[in-house]
Chain A
Amino acid sequence: MRYCYLILLLPYYVLAAEPSQQRQQDLDNMLKHDCGSCHGLPPKGGLGPSLMPEALAGKSDDFLLQTIQQGRPGTAMPPWQNFLNKEETLWLIKLLRQR
């Protein structure tokens, strides 16, 4: 929640860059634990599907960005746009693809 306020305060050009070191750590933690509660740790799947590189291989960044930002209505995947901006989401996708 705290982060939304931070993000609102940041000038836009900062957002266009990679997340800060501290923020990267928070994002990594979030991926492990908050995403992990549905996707597993490592994210080999749980209630949500596997997010391992093999599983994401055929899917474009845009498609995954859309899924994470908006969620998938009618499924248990919630929208994260209030907590993750576009750059942060793309950084997470990069992280997932590199595992």
Chain B
Amino acid sequence: MKSLLKALFLSQLIWCNGVAQAEPRASGDLGLVIEREQGSVQIVNTSKNSALSRITELGDLSHASVVFSRDQRYAYVFGRDGGLSKIDIIQDKLEKRIVQAGNSIGGAISQDGRLIAVSNYTPGGVKIFSADTLEQLADIPAVYGDGQLSKVVGLADATGQRFVFSLFDADEIWIADAKNPREPQIQKFKNIGKQPYDALLTPDGRYYLAGLFGESGLAKLDMWQPEAGVQRVLPDYGKQDEKLPVYKMPHLQGWTNSGNWLFVPAVGQHEVLVIDRNNWQLLKRIPVAGQPVFVTARPDGRQVWINFAFPDNQRVQVLDVKDLSIIKTLEPGKAVLHMEFTPRGEAVWLAVRDDDRVMVYDTETLAETARLPADKPSGIFFASRANQLGL
């Protein structure tokens, strides 16, 4: 018995020492993989193509997204069930978790990194929290008509401590200036187009573009001069074409800017649209292998990778921006839900939900270089997002 205790004690000692002497961990090449079915995330390393740990019991992550603190130490995970979880990715632990609404869709971190905003479906609106403590600072109900609350989508952070978002049921875009976070000032834009379903901020932070589900085109707001109001982009696009049923809403965050071009998923069509940012006209319609969900540019803008809605979600296509043509169709596995580039784009990670794995591809050879097991992975978010406006 004594020797057993001694052995235990010794092993404890070794273990403690081991921890004390462990290399300090940096987080610039880390990321999170969302495991949607079991409500967990994996912390991964993109230099080593390895998984470091798993954080569990994060609630319903069937539609989850992540933002990072500017020191890249903390990841804030927004879950479908209104959960907001703050994860310390250096120490592999859940720092704090609150449930702030009944049903939520996404979030953003302020320019200075001090505020977290969450957009909610129920109760429809936006709430603002301290990034440090997750204390609630403000509640902005998305009231419209005679007192109804709208679902809020397309929440992004803009310069000047502003948050900008769209009201799906109210056809409005709001800007909340949170310089005084306990009393945000709201500016509203009405009749921006029917059913904005998601939005993006161009990487330079200048334009906020909301995609419309209920009619053709996009609504555009110039964040340099919001007083100029919302303008419509491509209002007549695809009007004469038959719209296919949409089995998954396209996502706009991660839509892209490459030089002066924007690459946009066409709603209900098997097409990617290229918009010229100089005149906001359609430059080209590129036929693709299904209804695009994410249309994401490699960080250098040379390639755009596209994934698709059910029933074409086993495919991924690569578009060469040099001559605006599809150069490769990949079939990584069943249900490719998301794609995330490493900070400088030499590799891309794909979440292959129904095959329970994450796959890594070399973006030059377009060949697979690694795969990691993951339980029904749906989203991949790398810490390099910490330094990008609108992500």
Using a CB–CB distance below 8 Å, which chain A residues touch chain B? Answer: 1, 29, 32-34, 36-38, 40-42, 44-47, 71, 76, 78-79, 83
Residue of B nearest to A79 (CB): B245
A36 CB to closest chain B CB (Å) equals: 5
Q: Is the CB of B103 within 8 A of A78?
A: no
Q: List 16 A-B contacts (CB under 8 A).
A: A1-B311, A33-B62, A33-B354, A34-B248, A37-B62, A41-B36, A41-B60, A41-B62, A45-B121, A45-B122, A46-B63, A47-B151, A47-B197, A47-B249, A76-B246, A76-B249
B38 CB to closest chain A CB (Å) equals: 10
Q: Is the CB of B60 within 8 A of A40?
A: yes
Q: With an 8 A cutoff between CB atoms, is B9 at the interface?
A: no
Q: Is the CB of B354 within 8 A of A29?
A: yes
The residue from A1, A29, A36, A79 contacting B62, defined by CB atoms under 8 A apart: A36
Q: Number of A-B pairs whose CB atoms are under 8 Å?
A: 62
Q: Is the CB of A46 within 8 A of B121?
A: yes
Chain A residues, CB < 8 A from B237? none
Q: Is the CB of A32 within 8 A of B311?
A: no
Q: Is the CB of B247 within 8 A of A34?
A: yes
Chain B residues, CB < 8 A from A78? 245-247
Chain B residues, CB < 8 A from A41? 36-37, 60, 62, 80
Residue of A nearest to B168 (CB): A47
Enumerate B361-388 residues with CB–CB distance to A below 8 Å.
376
Give B326-355 as 1s and 0s: 1 = Cβ < 8 Å from A's Cβ atoms: 000000000100000000000000000110
A11 CB to closest chain B CB (Å) equals: 24
- Could you tell me the distance between the alpha carbons of A33 and B151 in the complex, rounded to whole angstroms? 21
- Could you tell me the distance between the alpha carbons of A50 and B36 in the complex, rounded to whole angstroms? 18
- Could you tell me the distance between the alpha carbons of A25 and B63 in the complex, rounded to whole angstroms? 22
Q: What are the 6 A-B residue pairs with the smallest beta carbon separation, nearest first?
A: A41-B62, A78-B245, A1-B311, A36-B62, A34-B310, A37-B248
Chain A residues, CB < 8 A from B376? 33
Chain A residues, CB < 8 A from B62? 32-33, 36-37, 40-41, 46
Interface SS of chain B: loop
Give B35-48 as 1s and 0s: 1 = Cβ < 8 Å from A's Cβ atoms: 01100000000000
Chain B residues, CB < 8 A from A36? 36, 62
Chain A residues, CB < 8 A from B103? 40, 44-46
A59 CB to closest chain B CB (Å) equals: 20
Residue of A nearest to B62 (CB): A41
Known: A1-B311, A40-B62. 16 other contacts (CB 8 A): A33-B36, A33-B37, A33-B62, A38-B249, A40-B80, A40-B103, A41-B37, A41-B60, A44-B81, A45-B103, A45-B121, A45-B122, A46-B103, A47-B121, A76-B197, A76-B213
Q: With an 8 A cutoff between CB atoms, is B105 at the interface?
A: yes
Known: A38-B249, A40-B103, A47-B249. A32 touches B122 (CB 8 A): no
B80 CB to closest chain A CB (Å) equals: 5
- Could you tell me the distance between the alpha carbons of A47 and B80 in the complex, rounded to whole angstroms? 11
Q: Is the CB of B249 within 8 A of A32?
A: no
Q: Is the CB of B81 within 8 A of A46?
A: no
Q: Is the CB of A40 within 8 A of B245?
A: no
Chain A residues, CB < 8 A from B80? 40-41, 46
Chain A residues, CB < 8 A from B122? 45
Chain B residues, CB < 8 A from A34? 247-248, 310
Q: Is the CB of B311 within 8 A of A46?
A: no
B242 CB to closest chain A CB (Å) equals: 13
- Could you tell me the distance between the alpha carbons of A37 and B197 in the complex, rounded to whole angstroms? 14
Residue of A nearest to B80 (CB): A40
Enumerate B245-268 residues with CB–CB distance to A below 8 Å.
245-249
Chain A residues, CB < 8 A from B247? 34, 78
- Could you tell me the distance between the alpha carbons of A45 and B311 in the complex, rounded to whole angstroms? 22
Residue of B nearest to A3 (CB): B311
Chain A residues, CB < 8 A from B36? 33, 36, 41
Q: Is the CB of A33 within 8 A of B60?
A: no
- Most chain-B CB neighbours within 10 Å: which of A1, A76, A79? A76
Enumerate B45-99 residues with CB–CB distance to A below 8 Å.
60, 62-63, 80-81
Chain A residues, CB < 8 A from B335? 33
- Could you tell me the distance between the alpha carbons of A83 and B121 in the complex, rounded to whole angstroms? 28
